[in-house]
């Protein structure tokens, strides 16, 4: 069964002195004076605004109330991204953290914001890439260079435009999709359903930042778009890369690797999340927030279980309310991770077709070439007869769908978001006779087979 991930579903409802953790069965109020004001401060600071002081003609960073957090002193720069900001002083760019401290002992003619854990920089008329430590991971040899997007960057050298991966090797531009085979295994195909990586995998994720986590022979590793393994470390579990780092688990402990495959934050945690805005949540029997170097930003004295800590939202949320489209999904009493948050289309909830319905015995088939989505459910799984199944067929960006050949008009068209097919969940539930319950207060969607 293909694995999916949802990035820190917002199930924690904050107030100044209280956090309410919503579980599948109950709501637990934990009184924690001033603790979450600290968390909010850490997570909110990526929303600092890079602002010009017209009196001095210099830039600094202010918060939402206009309070100066990093004094006016810079000639130019960019907003924080992945917990780091590029600023210019004395004619040169360099990188700072949220306190205004210079974190990379180098400066550049030009320095762009970090993206996927790397940044585009230039000197002497040439462009290249550095990591968070300032290490030059791809030499400054290009006439022009762009940010990495899902592990691929467009660069120009000697008048020729090419696409490179994070090792500087030329690679393909196209997205690859993790698709199930008729024999029950998985492989990777392009948008035309052509098999690009033919190895048979038991489980895994789609590509993220140039790498995909895959399972074979009982363990996980990462591969690049040629199918080459990144580490050969045989992890017990993994999560996709985000901001250049990926959580991995081995021997019961979680840590983080970078895109070279090196363990950069040791395996020491009971649980770990992906990084977002330079911050990750880890579990040491309490709430702990760390930066990309593994430094502790916050550690609560309140002990919580892995299950409850996992539900705390690490997104920047200045009003301390649930994001409009954040959704907690529970299938047969289990919290389900998704590759893409559901979206609301004119009051209709669209959810990723993969990762939900297979868990209740629904067969899903995607045809990337024709943009068709086929969903089937047998009335009796022990007696698979054609006359005892319901088949729904969707077409991407079409308001028409068929149920056992009969055409219906959909309340919202299926969409492709970040490589994921999203469909109207209520339409599927009604036609496949699936029990669907939604709690508006907690934004929890419960599905039972």
CATH code assigned at 429? 3.30.457.10
Question: Would you state the pLDDT for residue 357?
Answer: 75
Spatial distance between the Cα atoms of 398 and 286, rounded to a whole number of angstroms = 47
Q: Are residues 297 and 335 both part of a single domain?
A: no
Q: Show the domain range for 88.
A: 44-164
Q: Are residues 160 and 203 both part of a single domain?
A: no
Number of domains composing the chain: 3
Residue 403 DSSP SS3: strand
State which H helix or E strand residue 36 sits in: helix 35-44
pLDDT tens profile 317-350: 332 222 344 567 777 766 666 667 788 887 788 8
Question: Mean pLDDT in the chain?
Answer: 78
Q: Could you tell me if residue 158 is left (phi over 0), alpha (psi between -120 and 50 degrees) or otherwise beta?
A: left
Residue 355 falls within a domain, yes or no?
Answer: yes
Name the band, by pLDDT with cuts 50, 70 and 90, for residue 379: low
Q: Are residues 181 and 85 both part of a single domain?
A: no
C-alpha neighbours within 13 Å on the C-beta side of residue 154: 5
pTM over 0.85, yes/no: no
Domain finish residue from 116, 145, 164: 164
Q: Are residues 290 and 181 both part of a single domain?
A: yes
Q: Are residues 296 and 178 both part of a single domain?
A: yes
Query: What's 55's DSSP letter?
Result: T
Higher pLDDT, 385 or 355: 355
Q: Are residues 139 and 184 both part of a single domain?
A: no
Domain finish residue from 131, 164, 197: 164
pLDDT tens profile 259-295: 999 999 999 998 888 888 888 888 876 667 888 988 8
Residue 430 DSSP SS3: helix
């Amino acid at each position: 069964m293909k694995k999916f991930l949802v990035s820190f579903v917002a199930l924690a409802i904050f107030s100044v002195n209280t956090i309410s953790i919503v579980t599948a069965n109950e709501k637990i109020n934990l009184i924690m004076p001033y603790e979450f004001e600290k968390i909010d401060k850490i997570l909110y600071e990526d929303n600092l605004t890079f602002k010009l002081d017209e009196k001095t003609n210099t830039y600094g960073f202010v918060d939402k109330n206009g309070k100066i957090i990093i004094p006016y002193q810079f000639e130019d720069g960019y907003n924080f991204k992945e917990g780091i900001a590029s600023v210019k002083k004395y004619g040169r760019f360099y990188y700072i953290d949220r306190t205004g401290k210079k974190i990379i002992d180098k400066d550049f003619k030009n320095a762009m914001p970090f993206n996927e854990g790397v940044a585009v920089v230039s000197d002497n008329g040439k462009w290249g890439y550095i990591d968070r430590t300032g290490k030059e991971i791809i030499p400054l040899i290009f006439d022009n260079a762009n940010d990495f997007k899902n592990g691929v960057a467009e660069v120009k050298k000697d008048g020729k435009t090419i696409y490179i991966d994070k090792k500087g090797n030329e690679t393909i531009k196209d997205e690859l999709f993790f698709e199930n085979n008729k024999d029950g295994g998985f492989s990777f195909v392009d948008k035309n359903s052509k098999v690009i990586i033919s190895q048979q995998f038991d489980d895994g994720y789609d590509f993220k930042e140039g790498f995909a986590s895959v399972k074979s022979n009982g363990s996980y590793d990462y591969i690049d778009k040629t199918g080459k393994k990144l580490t050969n470390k045989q992890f017990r579990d993994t999560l996709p890369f985000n901001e250049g780092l990926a959580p991995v688990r081995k021997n019961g402990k979680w840590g983080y690797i970078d895109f070279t495959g090196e363990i950069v934050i040791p395996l020491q945690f009971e649980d770990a999340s992906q990084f977002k805005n330079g911050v990750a949540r880890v579990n040491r029997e309490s709430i702990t927030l760390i930066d990309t170097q593994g430094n502790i930003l916050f550690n609560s004295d309140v002990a919580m279980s892995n299950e409850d800590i996992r539900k705390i939202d690490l997104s920047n949320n200045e009003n301390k309310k649930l994001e409009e489209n954040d959704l907690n999904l529970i299938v047969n009493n289990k919290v389900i991770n998704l590759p893409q948050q559901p979206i609301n289309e004119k009051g209709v909830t669209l959810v990723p077709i993969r990762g939900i319905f297979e868990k209740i015995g629904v067969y899903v088939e995607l045809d990337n070439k024709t943009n068709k989505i086929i969903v089937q459910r047998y009335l009796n799984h022990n007696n698979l007869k054609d006359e005892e199944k319901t088949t729904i067929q969707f077409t991407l960006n079409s308001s028409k769908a068929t149920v056992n050949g009969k055409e219906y008009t959909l309340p919202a068209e299926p969409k492709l978001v970040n490589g994921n097919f999203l469909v109207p969940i209520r339409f599927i539930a009604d036609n496949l006779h699936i029990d669907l319950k939604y709690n508006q207060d907690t934004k929890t969607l419960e599905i039972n087979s």
